Structure 1
Amino acid sequence: MEAFGVPGISPTWASSSKDLVGTALGTARVWFTLGHGILNEVFWPSTGRPQIRDLGFIVAREGAWYEVKRVHSYTLSTPAPEVPLPQVVHRGEEYTLELECLVDPNRDVVLVRYRLEGEGFRLYPLLAPHLGGSGHDNTAWVEGSALYAQKGMAALALLAKPGFTRASAGFVGFSDGWQDFQRNRAMTWSFSRATGGNVALMGELLAPAGVLALGFAETPEGAHTLAASSLTEDYGAVRDRYLEGWRAWARGLKIEGASPELTRMARTSTMVLRVHEDTTYPGAVVASLSTPWGSSHDDPGGYHLVWPRDAVEAGLALLAAGQVQDARRMLAYLLATQQPDGSWPQNFYPDGRAYWQGLQLDEVALPVLLAARLEEEGGLAERAQVQRMVQKALGFIAQNGPYSPQDRWEENAGANPFTLGVQVAALVAGAAFLEEPERSYALSLADAWNARIEEWTFVENTPLDHQHGLRGHYVRIRPPGTMGLRGRVLVQNRQGEQVAAEELVGLEFFYLVRLGLRSPHDPRVRDTLRLVEALLRVDTPSGPFYHRYNHDGYGEHADGRPFDGNGVGRAWPLLSGERGHYALLAGEDPLPYLWTMARAASLGGLIPEQVWDSPPIPERGLFPGRPSGSAMPLVWAHAEYLKLFLAWQQGRPSEWLQGVAQRYQSPRPPQILHWRSDTPHRVVRPGQTLQVEATRPFTLHFGFDGWQEVQELPATAVGLGCFGVQLEPALLQGHRSLEFTRRFEEGWERRDYRVEILQEG
């Protein structure tokens, strides 16, 4: 019989409040999440493809029924922090339900061992398929001893050992099993099919103890075969293989510490990073196996996408923890997904298909830093292929930098200290992979850009500085255009609000210290730190957290409603990690920041993207210093925690590359000024060479002192796909000014430029 209520209510994903994530280290292509003590989204056949909303349980006997998720009274444990084998115990009125979840290492199957104790109680699994990455247009049915669902080329089968006594399919909100219990206080419906909608399945288990098998395949028959074969094999044997896979991997970890709690959190973080790596596409690390504010929408993207930045963060963290092979796979994946022009998409599915279409230059530079770090550790393989990747990446940076179309928060174009810093570090570290003349060009360009970071991102004597008694500060971002630091920035997620660039402050400048480009005691850094502590820090019962920037709008509304394109920016635990890295380099104690991040974690040790930073709203589950409704876990946050923990042990950050730090341990004035139309120089000092550049051939038409002594010189290839004309000090000597324009293949530039020439004395 067909269920009533087609197509059901509008589907959503599960809450982003997760307890744990897990997968098997074998050939299986399944990943599970756990939230509120039950299975949440399960991913197959890659980390970018969620296939169910959740698999929960109702416990019932005559006259009483309880959905364990809503009762929310449970404990969670694992055999070890680095082993994702969750053991959940739900306790309610006169019942106890024990659950254990794992993935069959050899099959695309999630197994759930269950045991229910309580006089007269029966157990009812509730399954909400979201096949194909959406709750729309799913079909569910009951056939024989199995529960099925299908959408297109994705199918699932839920089987039980010893079995079900009965089962039903329905439409969510109308004829699903939960509605049956809500209306009738018992399972009274037995619909055989629900076609084309937001569907759910429920079954009554034959025995109080047994094993559920949830199999995935392209066909219902395939899903049934996999689930049935898992149940045929002894659960204990499958469990032993699962445990051995993780224990073998964990033997390579180099994580020890004086604090058992902080060490446990570090080992948990390594597990979280490893779980987020794909099996179908090895080395692909998605940002999160959760969807921010998922219970309010059906967005198929979520955070189950690869961001090159987050992937490199994970690779650097695992490399520092001793997992060289993991870092190698991640670098190999990045080599494979690099675009022909040398860049990477803003984010993409694990198979490499681009999702969003933005471009962030830090995501082009960071893979170079991962390669350089592997090289320092003696763990780099296939150096020739890495050389090609580095050359293409640095070529893209040289031709398109230093201004980035997007910053690391994916919101604004311009120049910011973080993106500038990683570009400079990549040019220096990557130069070791290049041949001449490109090696010298990369180093020269790095020196030139490094020397101008303050020119581009530091302001002085602003109202904000006067208010806080400072000389000046680094801005969050310098917008493109002629106004530069005097311009205004469109604040995303704030309904079109614009703020003066000099009023926006972020933590981006910390990376200048972390990469070795600036001293932690630089007065400009210290002044900006004072501003950050005044404007962005929020103290909570968990410890000090930081906002991304003042005026941020990415977070829940003031009343706790989910972010819906607008909101109020909340505090980010990963930024406490960035503050902790600075503390370490400045000779301060980083432990308060490690403790803050650890205390923000969920029951299973997952670190969220954001924490609530306002008065508590218990009815929405929002409490100061605890996870908000944003993504949890966040790979970037776990990588940041792990890197800070290891930096505390090892004395230096994972991003600290010797070649970069040594080059800039003292101020290094550039010998060559790289003049470009988007980053012009207005003055040339005695002894400096001016190099006029473009990304295509041109002829330089120039003269001195008001267009006297007019000459022409053809541009030559200077390296990394750039062309330039070099004007040596001897040619400039004795003149007050240089005037020039350029002629390209298609004609004159139709614009004149002027550079003042300073003379000795």
Structure 2
Amino acid sequence: MTDSTSLPPGAPGIAPTWMSSDKDYVTTALGGSSRVWATLGHGILNEVYWPSTGQPQVRDLNFYLVRADAQARHDWIDLKRVARYHVSTPKPYLPLPTVLHHGDDYELTLEVLPDPRRDVLLIRFALAGPYRLVVLLSPHLTATGEGNAGWVEGEVLLARRGNRALALTASVPLEMASAGYVGTSDGWQDLHQHGRLTWQYGRAENGNVALTAQLSGQAGLLALGFAESVQGARGLALSSIAEGDDAARRDFLASWETWGSTLKLSGPTKALTDQAILSATVLKIHEDRAYPGALVASLSVPWGNSTDTLGGYHLVWPRDATLAAFALLAADQREDARRVLAGFLANQQPDGHWTQNYYPDGQVFWNGVQLDETAFPVLLAAKLREEGETELTGTGQMVRRALAFVARTGPTSPQDRWEENRGVNPFTLSVAIAALVAGAGWLEEGERRYALDLADDWNERLEGLCYVTGTPLSRQLGVSGYYVRLAPPDRDGDLTGQVELQNRQGETILASALVSLDYSYLTRLGLRSAHDQRILDTNAVVDHLLKVETPSGPLYHRYNNDGYGEHEDGSPYDGHGIGRLWPLLSGERGHLALQAGLDPLPFLHAMHRCASVGGLLPEQVWDSASIPERGLFPGRPSGSAMPLLWAHSEFLKLLIARETGRPAELLRVVEERYAGGLPAQARHWRFSAPVAQLDPGRTLIIEGEQPFLLHLGFDGWQQPEDRQALALPFGLWGVVFSSSELEGFHTLNFTRHTASGWEGQDHEIRLGQAAPAASIEHQPR
């Protein structure tokens, strides 16, 4: 036995990682002062977040069984690796998980309870069989496994890094307590080498540390406390142990019962109803209490067992948070949705957009710009207004700033919804159009007219930007055409060229051959009918290229040749890989079926069958032959994010829409405007969305984000003249041509001069009646 004062070998330990994102369950307390979120995976405790959903402080808390009279080597059980367990809760909306591990001669019950009164996680344990329970805690304080210090102090295991500290203690004595370095002197290494605990190192400094102890009793209570100081964490853990867990359990269940009893959800089967209730509960669990209204995308780190990266998915993505808010509204959880909007009000950037993602406190993580993430909060504000909710202070200013950004920078987005490519995307563009219409009611008269006029133009030009006909794929499948995932339009306005496939090491694909379910929001938001032949044809293309029939049911890839997923051998995504199947896309395909008058039940069943043993829905599931040693099986969760709020939101919305017949995101004001195919009165020429052909009777507006001089001529630069751009709404500048002044000409030729000089290229717009849309073939050049 090593002396407790000696230093453990192996500093600073192996390179730290997080746990796999393949989780069983998540939980937190409602009400009270607790700010702890716990996740479970593989039957043990995974990341624990404190004091916010954006800050994981623990990698895992492992449990091992050591035979009480063990003298022989390896007479111990690693419960995570054995993986014979069951997870249960009292009700789908009562997130008090009990994990039951069982073997031939043992049974271990673990109940995981966040203390509502304190920043403490309580774990009730009961062990039957000839074993002792060993715990191994891996702190990742300040969200990293580097630079942690851990030590033993009497009956308490302690750790600290910076202004974050934790303490683990128990209601029974701790035996053989030790602090070591992961990979060399931790408790697992001790068990692996000796079959029992033999080391008792007192302290491990500045490294990837692990704390280990054996519990002297067969039943009792563990308390894991968090504070900004070691003294605080120790005091919280000890006081929770002193009070016991009866009162904490009673208060925990009472708060969740009060909330859950308001859920009025009903599905075609009990299993689907329970999944819907659990999905609403998962959304509720993910709301931050330090920063109410902040909904992180997932309490997980995708492929976390291969990285120690900051961020993970425990960040607020405005898109994911808005879609979760729509799901909460559909479930009649209005106050929750209002808080999400309040969070958007607090974190909007001065120019009107929201950043790609940010921590719950508003601190920016990634600075990318996705136009849909600026438009979505507007749709949420409009939905709350449509539902008769009292308007939050500042909503009008928020909407105006957001629409100004959309109007100035659209229809092209620097990133699509998959955060990868620049261009015009049918999902992004449909959200932007709907926001311009839904948010117009907050605008002044001149801005309102402009916003609606721009929305009408973009809506009418959607097919010209994002729809192809006469391609080899369309001929192969016998369809007229289909919507593409992404259109990188060139200066002539045609859909041409190559799209770089992110995560595929520089591979490219023809824009006309790249498809996805991104078009599904054209019907979801009321811009197109689900019976439109273009939608039906694209359904056929998507089902042919992206759908995979799995043991769970029909599931879909994001797009053909996706690279965001595990490698062929099942090893984790590491910047490139092979994209796997996304259950949330079955929800999108189910919405398309619903709006076409079909029953989306097969898609609901498929999503449900993808869930973890605790009912969590993953970001991706495996789509190849089974690799048991990696835990990968067709139609079952991979190592990507789980739970994914977006997936739970989509399931919940689809189940409710099946009952109501109407998608949650479908706003009456948008539906009514485009139900009859409202024609646009003007064309808005922009460099990112040029106008190739102007039909008679339409106004033409040539626009830019800064003042410019327009040098123009007709029919090959005849009758040249210069016109100075005038100020338009939202900080834009433009030259307006009425339909009458363009009559009699065949082409308009122009170029522009700005403060930085001539732009260096000429543009041409054909004037007159265009050929019918069905006969236009967009072919790659």
TM-score normalised by structure 1 residue count: 0.97
1:357 paired residue number? 367
1:94 to 105, 121, 137: 105
1:577-606 deviations in Å (ceiling 9; x for gaps): 000000000011100000000000001000
2:778 is matched with which residue?
Answer: none
SS at 1:285 equivalent: coil
Kindly indicate whether residue 653 of structure 2 is the aligned counterpart of residue 646 of structure 1. no
- Alignment partner for residue 444 of structure 2, among 435, 443, 451? 435
Q: Distance in 2 between matches of 1:238 and 1:633?
A: 26
Measured after TM superposition, the shift of residue 701 of structure 1 is: 4.3
Partner of 2:3: none
Give the deviation of 1:704 after TM superposition. Answer: 3.9
Kindly indicate whether the alpha-carbon contact (under 8 Å) linking 2:565 and 2:579 is maintained by their aligned counterparts in 1. yes
The CA distance in 2 between the partners of 1:560 and 1:734, in whole Å, is 64
SS in 1 for 2:166: strand
Pick aligned residue for 1:460 from 461, 465, 469: 469
Deviation at 1:505, TM superposition (A): 1.0
- Deviation string 1:325-377 (CA, Å, 9 cap, x unpaired) is 11011111111111001011111111112112211111111111111111111
1:21 counterpart = 2:26 = yes
Give the partner amino acid of 1:44.
W
The within-5 A match list for 1:267-278 is 267-278=277-288
Determine the C-alpha separation between the residues in 2 that align with 1:335 and 1:138: 37
Structure 1 letter corresponding to 2:181: F
Rounded Cα–Cα distance in structure 2 between residues aligned with 1:555 and 1:103: 33
Aligned to 1:532: 542
2:69: which partner in 1?
62
Shift of 1:299: 1.4
Instruction: Note the C-alpha offset of 1:571.
Output: 0.7
Q: Which residue of 2 aligns with 1:2?
A: 7
Q: Which of residues 469, 478, 482 is equivalent to 1:469?
A: 478
Structure 1 residue 695 displacement after superposition: 1.9
Amino acid of the structure 2 residue aligned with 1:412: N
Distance 2:764 2:663 in 1: 43
Residue 123 (structure 1) shift: 1.5
Q: Which residue does the alignment assign to 1:41? A: 47
Give the counterpart letter for 1:442 in structure 2.
A
SS at the partner of 2:495?
helix
Does 2:87 align with 1:82? Answer: no
Unaligned runs of 5+ in 2: 1-5, 772-781
Of 546-555 and 721-730, deviating more is 721-730
Q: Which residue, out of 247, 251, 260, partners 2:257?
A: 247
Aligned pairs (5 A) from 1:138-177:
138-177=148-187
> For residues 413-562 of structure 1, what are the structure 2 equivalents within 5 Å?
413-482=422-491, 485-562=495-572
CA contact (8 A) 1:548 1:571 kept: yes
Shift of 1:752: 4.2
- The counterpart of 2:383, out of the listed 373, 376, 391, is 373
**Amino acid in the other structure paired with 2:507:** E
Runs of 4+ aligned structure 1 residues displaced above 6 Å come to none
2:38 is equivalent to residue 32 of structure 1 = yes
SS of 1:181's equivalent in the other structure is: helix
CA RMSD, Structure 1 to Structure 2 (Å): 1.7
Secondary structure at the counterpart of residue 225 of structure 2: strand
Q: Is the 8 A contact 1:62 1:186 kept in 2?
A: no
Q: Is the 8 A contact 1:343 1:364 kept in 2?
A: yes
Equivalences, count: 759
Q: What is the CA distance between 1:486 and its match in structure 2?
A: 2.0
Is 2:414 aligned against 1:409?
no
Answering whether residue 256 of structure 2 is matched by residue 256 of structure 1, we say no
How far off its partner does 1:166 sit? 3.8
Aligned pair in 2 of structure 1 residues 489, 704: CA closer, same or farther (>3 Å)?
closer
SS for the counterpart of 1:509 is helix
Q: Which runs of 5+ in 1 are unaligned?
A: none
SS at match of 1:531: helix
Determine whether 1:564 maps to 2:564: no
After superposition, what is the alpha-carbon deviation per residue over 1:445-484, rounded to whole angstroms, capped at 9, x for unaligned?
0000011111011111111112212211111111254485
Aligned with 2:358: secondary structure? coil
Distance 1:742 1:599 in 2: 57
Normalising by structure 2, we get a TM-score of 0.95
Cα deviations by residue, 1:641-692 (Å, 9 ceiling, x for unpaired): 0110111111111110111111111222211111223322233222111122
Asked if the contact 2:176/2:198 (under 8 Å) is kept, the reply is no
1:150-193 C-alpha deviation (Å, 9 max, x unpaired): 11111100011133234111111211111111111111111111
Confirm or deny: 8 A CA contact 1:328 1:380 kept in the other structure: no
Deviation at 1:742, TM superposition (A): 3.8
1:689-732 per-residue CA deviation (whole Å, 9 max, x = no partner) reads 11222222334444444555555544333312222232212222
**Partner of residue 204 from structure 1, selected from 203, 214, 228:** 214
Aligned to 2:590: 580
Whole-Å separation in 1 of the counterparts to 2:307 and 2:748 = 59
- CA separation in 2, counterparts of 1:750 and 1:502? 28
Report the alpha carbon displacement of residue 252 of structure 1 after superposing the two structures with TM: 2.8
- Rounded to whole Å, the distance in 2 between the matches of 1:759 and 1:189 is 85
**What percent of counterpart residues are identical?**
57
CA contact (8 A) 1:139 1:199 kept: yes
Which residue in 2 is equivalent to 1:294? Answer: 304
What is the 5 A alignment of 1:297-312?
297-312=307-322
In structure 2, what is the Cα distance between the partners aligned to 1:302 and 1:665? 41
CA distance in 1, matches of 2:716, 2:14: 74
Amino acid aligned to 1:196: N
Task: Compute the displacement of 1:322 (Å).
Answer: 0.8
Shift of 1:741: 3.8
Encode CA deviations 1:415-464: one digit per residue, 9 max, x unaligned.
11101111111111011111111011100000000111110111111111
In the alignment, residue 191 of structure 2 is paired with which amino acid? F
Equivalent residue, structure 1, for 2:128 = 117
